[in-house]
Amino acid sequence: MAKTYTHILSLAAILLASCAGIRTSSAQTIPSLKEIFKNDFLIGAAINTMQIEEKDSAANRLIEQQFNAVTPENIMKAQIIHPSWNTYNFELADKLVAFAARNNIKINAHTLIWHSQLPIFMRKMQNADSVKEYFQNHITTVAARYDGKVYSWDVVNEALNEDGSLRNSVFLQKLGPDYVVEAFRLAQKATPHSKLYYNDYNIEQPQKRAGAIALIKKIQAAGVRIDGVGIQGHWKYDKVPMADIEESIKEFSALGIEVMFTEVDLSVLPNPGDKQTADVSATSQSSNEMNPYTNGLPDSVAQKQASAYADLFNLFLKYKDKISRVTFWGVADGESWLNGWPIRGRTNYPLLFDRNFQPKPAFYEVIDQRKNDKD
């Protein structure tokens, strides 16, 4: 009996100690990314519906403490905000605006024109005039509603192929190659108080980068405003293309626009066919080999990921006068889209906070880069 009692007591002591541990290592006592980098660039995160509705308390705490910019992960995409010809669904975006205003967070609205996550009515559209009307209505209505309420817009997302040519989207097919310029022209009119950006993945790669530069120059030559370019930054932790990233910062900023890293996450899982892409339609099947860390991330991998993040932030700091924002695509590992893409049901660890919303080695490495930076 006495033995059982002692046993229960010691169990209680362990429990208490671990609770205290959680408290002392909680987000309240860790450094804040937005504070540490406040003179360098904005620090953002993509946030999901639960977080916008403030129903994910641990994540919400981190958002408020760590980030001064957010990008809605899905709720401002056409499929959700404009589900049918005459229906707009502004409820969640309005909540986002209120949440961000209350917490002094800038919103990068994402995204007006993208070939993916389009509403069904739009995907079925054959008639070029209807596509044109949709295009004008969509940009004008959505952008105008949030003028002055969002800091910036990803006006066009992922318009390019890997070789730098224009992607064969419904917009290219029905509106012709000037549609990107037209999207910026309409956005400029509808939202004079928001910054206007072009956003894409792999545009740090030489060929695609050249395509992006040509596109940006075309917008500028038309006398239309473009304020910046977003390099998404969905990279593999052991293959971050550092030299290409550095060259891209130089070349894009030479166009006189802001450079941003808008969707950063460093996957630790193998890619099917070992491809470097963020094409949302590129999905495959799961297997144990493709999902090796279901029981936790080995320390060695966590450390390697941390040093990849360190190198990346070191580079960002070197060019901090050219970089206006660095945004992670998610808050914590458990909610990252990379658990479901390009293979469903995997356990990935791409961000700075783990599944318990605790900072990972990568978080401390990122913080340390700023501390080591002289000015």
Q: Which positions are catalytic?
A: 158, 263
Is there binding between residue 316 and ligand XIL (CB under 6 A)?
no
Amino acid at 263: E
Of 370, 369, 339, 371, the C-alpha closest to 354 is 339
CB 218: neighbour CB atoms within 10 A?
A: 16
CB 50: neighbour CB atoms within 10 A?
A: 13
Helix and strand tally (H, E) in the chain? 14, 9
Of 280, 284, 320, 355, which lies in the binding site for ligand XIL, with binding defined by CB under 6 A?
280
Is there binding between residue 58 and ligand XIL (CB under 6 A)?
no
Find the shortest distance in angstroms from Cβ 299 to ligand XIL. 28
Is there binding between residue 276 and ligand XIL (CB under 6 A)?
no
Is there binding between residue 263 and ligand XIL (CB under 6 A)?
yes
Find the shortest distance in angstroms from Cβ 263 to ligand XIL. 6
Is there binding between residue 264 and ligand XIL (CB under 6 A)?
no
Measured from each CB, the residue nearest to ligand XIL is 337
| Rg (alpha carbons) of the chain, rounded to whole number | 22
Report yes or no: 331 and 57 within 8 Å, Cβ to Cβ. Answer: no
Judged by beta carbon, residue 232 or residue 324, the one nearer ligand XIL is: 232
Total residues at the site for ligand XIL (CB under 6 A)? 8
Tell me, what DSSP letter sits at residue 202? S
Is there binding between residue 258 and ligand XIL (CB under 6 A)?
no
Of 74, 103, 165, 220, which lies in the binding site for ligand XIL, with binding defined by CB under 6 A?
74
Is there binding between residue 277 and ligand XIL (CB under 6 A)?
no
Length of the chain: 375
Task: Give CA–CA dist 162/196, Å, rounded.
Answer: 23
Report yes or no: 112 and 183 within 8 Å, Cβ to Cβ. Answer: yes
Binding residues for ligand XIL restricted to 218-237, rule: CB under 6 A: 232
Tell me which residue has tokens 């909680």.
Answer: 26
Is there binding between residue 278 and ligand XIL (CB under 6 A)?
yes
Binding residues for ligand XIL restricted to 147-166, rule: CB under 6 A: 157
Judged by beta carbon, residue 68 or residue 232, the one nearer ligand XIL is: 232
Binding residues for ligand XIL restricted to 321-340, rule: CB under 6 A: 337
Is there binding between residue 146 and ligand XIL (CB under 6 A)?
no
Distances from the Cα of 123 to the Cα of 83, 169, 170, angstroms: 11, 10, 8
Between CA 58 and CA 66, with CA 64 as vertex, the angle to 5 degrees is 95
Find the shortest distance in angstroms from Cβ 110 to ligand XIL. 6
Find the shortest distance in angstroms from Cβ 71 to ligand XIL. 8
Task: Give CA–CA dist 108/112, Å, rounded.
Answer: 11
Binding site for ligand XIL (CB under 6 A): 73-74, 157, 232, 263, 278, 280, 337
